[in-house]
Amino acid sequence: MKKLNCPQCKINRFRVRNEKGESVVVTVNDAYEIIPIHPEESLEGFDLSIVYCLGCSWSGSPRNLSHKH
State the DSSP code for 66. B
Query: Which pTM was predicted?
Result: 0.92
Closest CA to 55 of 39, 41, 66, 43: 66
Ordered by start, the domain boundaries in the chain are 14-60
Higher-pLDDT residue of 69, 68 = 68
Give per-residue pLDDT as tens, 11-62: 999 999 999 999 999 999 999 999 999 999 999 999 999 999 999 999 999 9
What residues have CB less than 8 Å from 22, skipping those under 6 apart? none
